[in-house]
Structure 1
């Protein structure tokens, strides 16, 4: 091509590229190439999740062996494949009772397997931490298997759009998996998490308790007095990683007092919106509890039955902050929440009765 103009060469290259583009478009080669790139990206992230899942299972097995559980590997392998089927919701009658029964059955089965494998009785707080570690391993295992399923299904059926959707949400899924992996260390060492802020508020209120009792499984209630007002404080029994049964406990306490309660205040962590500051506090009406239904409806029903005002205080945080080590901002917010609770109690006439519930996972927070 001696003597050819540079502009002619450029024109030829442009035409060849255009023809190649048309050929790829008509044959579908461009789609296959995009699928290949996206699938490789998904596969690399999926392998990362698989590694976290395997590490979580190994650490959980080691933890169970350390606390004297025989057949630790067998128990973890069984429970990481355990599933819970939600009740039929097309017929809403007694759905919360059925849901509570199913969740209770699930938890009792996990506890039974753990206790059967133990050489000697496991302390309650250690058992609760072990159950959470198994739950984290279960969650990571499910995430990995679901991603693998959709990837293989999309490749098998040559489904470009499914691959594209999976590729687009993989960063969020990986972030969620990393948060669970990070949370494992927190629960293993029984350190307070962001979601422990509700129980922490209750703990601070219970520092001068007159008495303490157990109104429901894994849940405690204590009585304190604030300037002539009686305050009943409810929280999960710590310091193990459990949320207790606050709805059942509140129901039993109020029924035991024949409804002679002037105010119910629930304190819980809440998911912050992007742009909101972690540790910021908001107040509202209703039951602040992140529950699938049974515990929350128990609070709402007993409050409605006895016509008791139901107020809420929430401390805002991100998903990651909720299940990992409690930050300084959230710990400081607990002090502000205590102050707000006390102000609400003082605003009532003397001899009033107030029930305060510190909702959340009480990991690292005693009573």
Structure 2
């Protein structure tokens, strides 16, 4: 062991040509790192973002293909729905100005209703032979594809800006939140099959509980795709509200509650 250290020491001595060469290389590497460390770090992060961006693009393309196949299967359109699916995936909603909070909820509700109406009309045109429940499922499938497209375009936007400007702060921001975004993208991608086949997920527990509480009691439609029924629980009159179903639609519970309050005079 002592002989090894002695040999290394001899190599790195100043009068050794190899030692001078190694010291020169180390000094040069230190100078390069001193001036280009941030750029090297930025390029490394950009490379990692690019890899994940390709992954997100593959998820987006898969969702697009799944939506097109589902529309052809359930809707039986007389034309190729590819162009309409591509147009649907480019939809976006501009939220109302919220600097003046008075009335912003009503404005947002109106925009959401218009968005919902537009999506329903688009799906009805693409899948004329689909049942109402299948149309709701197709709408959910297309909205998942739309969300994946938004993820891809936003991340790509910041990636290109960071690559063009080599601004380390822009690159670091997208790089730091990328793991969380990837989890959301994977969740959307994993839900595609459920949306396509109408498999209950998430909020489906609520309608099941409501149906058990009603226990076959008659219901009436109180709002768009919302029904309500009366039952008695522990001697108390209970009004149960649930989505009409089947299909992936939650209806408009706010409108349903508002109408029931008006009918019951707020009691």
C-alpha contact (below 8 Å) 1:216/1:248 kept by paired residues: yes
CA 35–187 in structure 1, closer or farther in 2 if over 3 Å, else same: same
Q: 1:83 aligns with which of 89, 92, 96?
A: 92
Relative to its length, the structure with more helix (as a share) is: 2
Match of 2:240 in 1: 233
Equivalent positions of 1:88-167 (< 5 A) are 88-120=97-129, 122-167=130-175
Q: 2:52 aligns with which of 45, 50, 70?
A: 45
Query: 1-side partners of 2:187 and 2:125: how far apart?
Result: 31
Query: 1-side partners of 2:165 and 2:59: how far apart?
Result: 28
Deviation at 1:111, TM superposition (A): 1.1
Equivalent positions of 1:180-191 (< 5 A) are 180-191=188-199
Query: 1-side partners of 2:42 and 2:105: how far apart?
Result: 44
1:174 aligns with 2:176: no
C-alpha contact (below 8 Å) 1:208/1:224 kept by paired residues: no
Query: 1-side partners of 2:46 and 2:171: how far apart?
Result: 7
Match of 2:16 in 1: none
1:19 aligns with 2:27: yes
C-alpha contact (below 8 Å) 2:53/2:155 kept by paired residues: yes
Deviation at 1:200, TM superposition (A): 2.5
The DSSP-based 3-state class of the residue aligned with 1:82 is coil
Deviation at 1:16, TM superposition (A): 4.2
Larger radius of gyration: 2
CA 231–10 in structure 1, closer or farther in 2 if over 3 Å, else same: farther
Deviation at 1:170, TM superposition (A): 1.7
Match of 1:7 in 2: 9
State the superposition RMSD in angstroms: 2.0
Instruction: State the number of aligned residues.
Output: 254
| TM-score, reference length from structure 2 | 0.88
The DSSP-based 3-state class of the residue aligned with 2:266 is coil
Query: 1-side partners of 2:207 and 2:29: how far apart?
Result: 62
Equivalent positions of 1:1-367 (< 5 A) are 5-10=7-12, 12=19, 15-16=23-24, 18-28=26-36, 30-67=37-74, 68-69=76-77, 70-120=79-129, 122-209=130-217, 211-260=218-267
Deviation at 1:225, TM superposition (A): 1.8
Query: 1-side partners of 2:242 and 2:151: how far apart?
Result: 31
C-alpha contact (below 8 Å) 1:213/1:222 kept by paired residues: yes
Query: 2-side partners of 1:223 and 1:56: how far apart?
Result: 41
Query: 2-side partners of 1:259 and 1:149: how far apart?
Result: 50
Relative to its length, the structure with more strand (as a share) is: 1
| TM-score, reference length from structure 1 | 0.65
The DSSP-based 3-state class of the residue aligned with 2:220 is strand
The DSSP-based 3-state class of the residue aligned with 2:198 is coil
The DSSP-based 3-state class of the residue aligned with 2:191 is helix
- In structure 2, the gaps of 5 or more residues are 1-5, 14-18
